[in-house]
Amino acid sequence: MKRLPSIMSLRALEAVSRLGSISSAAQELSLTRSAVSHQIQMLEEVVGFALTQKSGRGIMLTQKGERYAVESKRALSILTEAARENNGHEVTGRLTVSCAPGLANYWLCHHLAEFTSIYPKLTLHISSPTVPDDTSNDDVDLYIAYGNGNWPDKYVRQLITIRLFPVCSPSFLKKNGGVGHPANLVNLPLLHLVNQTDWRVWLAANGVSNTQLEGGIIFSDANFAQSAAISGQGIAIGDNMVSGDALDKGLLIRPFEKSIESPRAYYLVSSPEKVERPEVSAFIEWLESLISDVQARYDRR
């Protein structure tokens, strides 16, 4: 089955077509220029033809792009009206979503405008737990939790499998003259999340076993570890969710292509009663449509 374009990609194309530039579209959509460009690039991969072309220092739509933009605007109007007629009057009130801080900061918060544009009458609250797998707050309607999937008596649905790999800033790699073999990593400052397990597992998968990892910095949250890596403090273990945007922007690079599957993953967790509510099911449906784009992007890397 052919992959369908995301609503955000269609909105990006429609805004560029109407406003005449990526900068103006980015400002209207509360995105960066690179994010808008990336949305259009993903849309081009879905439709199979070029939507834009260079024009001086900017871009312009191709003939096919102009026609597709017209159809995109029509499709968005239909979807928006359908959402308002079928859901807009029902999906109201308040929805509280708890998300692991690293994922919220580096991914989820970059996409929330799309959800609120579809459900404008719903007030969305985003919070974060003390630890990534904590689901004990009864005031939260839906958790995006990072763990092993073991939450007894809860609605649990895996959102995405996590792939782990080393990440560092370009300046850090240049300063250290590259890394060479994975065994050389033990002589560099390593950044750890919660404990040293992820690094031990990745190194063992790359032929570096029985390693004594001494020193380094241990962070309680992926947010801190990745911020330290971006600022050149060392090499962290990144993943396809938290690190994706920083990799796209060139803030981080992967000194090794080898990745391993994490024993943990991101899960949707709720109570069986709450998950049946229209606002919760609407957020889950929207979230899973976003994840399909993330997975497709990672698979192309």
Task: Give the pTM.
Answer: 0.68
pLDDT band at 6 (very low <50, low <70, confident <90, very high): confident
Return d(Cα 15, Cα 253) in angstroms, integer.
31
pLDDT band at 202 (very low <50, low <70, confident <90, very high): very high
Segment 262-288 mean pLDDT: 89
pLDDT band at 8 (very low <50, low <70, confident <90, very high): confident
**Could you tell me the two tokens for 61?**
């739509």
Q: What is the percent of the chain with per-residue pLDDT over 70, rounded to a whole number?
A: 91
Mean pLDDT of the chain: 85
Return d(Cα 228, Cα 222) in angstroms, integer.
10
Asked whether 142 and 276 are in contact (CB, 8 A), the reply is no
What domains lie within the chain, and their CATH numbers? 7-88 (1.10.10.10), 93-161+264-300 (3.40.190.10), 162-262 (3.40.190.10)
**Could you tell me the two tokens for 87?**
């859901």
Choose from 57-61, 181-185, 206-210, 289-293 the range with maximum mean pLDDT: 181-185
Phi, psi values for residue 185, rounded to 5°:
-60, -30
Q: What is the percent of the chain with per-residue pLDDT over 90, rounded to a whole number?
A: 33
Count of H helices and E strands in the chain? Answer: 11, 10
Judged against a pLDDT cut of 50, whether residue 88 lies above it is answered with no
Instruction: Dump pLDDT digits (tens) for 279-297.
Output: 998 899 888 877 766 655 5
SS3 60: strand
Q: What number of other Cβ atoms are within 10 A of residue 76's Cβ?
A: 16
Task: Give the pairing of strands 260-270 and 155-167.
Answer: antiparallel
Return d(Cα 242, Cα 227) in angstroms, integer.
11
